[in-house]
């Protein structure tokens, strides 16, 4: 399962990670977020040790979404060495995310 992170843990978990990090910005009231949640958890298991997969509740953590201009959820951002590599908004198909993470894991 993907770990939950907060505004206060963002830098240490995402920006300072040795692995690429996929961050899922979500909220519990968001239907597409709830639909995508199990896919994100599956990807966390599938890419364990290669890509870190984490989630951030935008309602409880407003600073980080504001910093990255998140206007719609779900939004998934792939970070590598603290830099944004790729970003998708909306309910993205699992194969699209798998391809993105496979590239990042190489």
Total Cβ atoms within 10 A of residue 31: 9
Q: Which CATH fold topology does 3-105 show?
A: Glutaredoxin (3.40.30)
Active site residue 33: yes
Out of 33, 40, 53, 97, the active site residue is: 33
Out of 30, 43, 70, 78, the active site residue is: 30
Ramachandran class of 75: left when φ > 0, alpha when ψ lies in -120 to 50, beta otherwise: beta
**The pTM is what?**
0.95
DSSP state of 12: I
Report helix, strand or coil for 44. Answer: helix
What is the pLDDT at residue 71? 94
What is the pLDDT at residue 98? 96
What Å distances lie between residue 33 and 82, 89, 106, CA to CA?
A: 24, 10, 28
What is the pLDDT at residue 1? 87
Active site residue 95: no
19: which 2 tokens?
């692995």
What is the pLDDT at residue 7? 98
Pair 47, 2: CB distance under 8 Å:
no
Helices (runs of H) and strands (runs of E) counted in the chain: 4, 5
91: which 2 tokens?
């309910």
**Per-residue model confidence as pLDDT tens for the chain (106 residues):** 899 999 999 999 999 999 999 999 999 999 999 999 999 999 999 999 999 999 999 999 999 999 999 999 999 999 999 999 999 999 899 999 999 999 998 8
């Amino acid at each position: 399962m993907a770990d939950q992170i907060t505004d206060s843990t963002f830098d240490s978990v995402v920006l300072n990670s040795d692995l690429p990090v996929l961050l899922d910005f979500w909220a519990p009231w968001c239907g597409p977020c709830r639909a995508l949640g199990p896919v994100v958890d599956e990807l966390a298991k599938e890419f364990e040790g290669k890509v870190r997969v984490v989630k951030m509740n935008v309602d409880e953590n407003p600073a980080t979404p504001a910093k990255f201009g998140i206007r719609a959820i779900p939004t998934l951002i792939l970070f590598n060495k603290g830099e944004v590599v790729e970003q998708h908004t909306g309910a993205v198909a699992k194969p699209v995310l798998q391809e993105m993470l496979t590239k990042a894991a190489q």
